[in-house]
Amino acid sequence: MISRPEVAADPEGPRRGGIEGMKQAVCEMIEAGLEHAQGLAALCSLELGESLQRVIQRLLLLLVVVVLALFAYIFLCAAVLLLLALWVGWIGACTIMFVLHLTGCLVAWKFFSRISVSPLLPKTVQELKSDYECLRILIKRNKNS
Model confidence over 20-42: pLDDT tens digits?
888 888 888 888 888 988 888 88
- Check if the beta carbon of residue 82 is closer than 8 Å to that of residue 69: no
**pTM for the model:** 0.43
User: Which residue type sits at 61?
Assistant: L
pLDDT of residue 63: 94
Residue 44's pLDDT band (boundaries 50, 70, 90)? confident
DSSP helix/strand/coil, 23:
helix
Checking if the pLDDT of 14 tops 50, the result is no
Q: Using one digit for the tens of pLDDT, what is the confidence trace for 95-133?
A: 999 999 999 999 999 988 887 777 777 888 888 888 888
Integer Cα distance of 96 and 82 in angstroms: 12
Distance from C-alpha of 124 to C-alpha of 46, rounded to nearest angstrom = 10
pLDDT band at 64 (very low <50, low <70, confident <90, very high): very high
**pLDDT at 144 (0 to 100):** 78
Q: Cα 2 to chain center, whole Å?
A: 30
pLDDT above 70 for 54: yes
H helix and E strand count, the chain? 3, 0
pLDDT of residue 1: 46
**DSSP code of 9?**
-
pLDDT digits (tens, 9 = 90+) for 2-12: 555 554 555 55
Q: What angle do CA 97, 99, 100 make, to 5 degrees?
A: 65
Q: Which of 116, 84, 114, 115 is nearest to 98 (CA)?
A: 84
Q: Are 2 and 34 in contact (CB under 8 A)?
A: yes
Strands (E), the chain: none
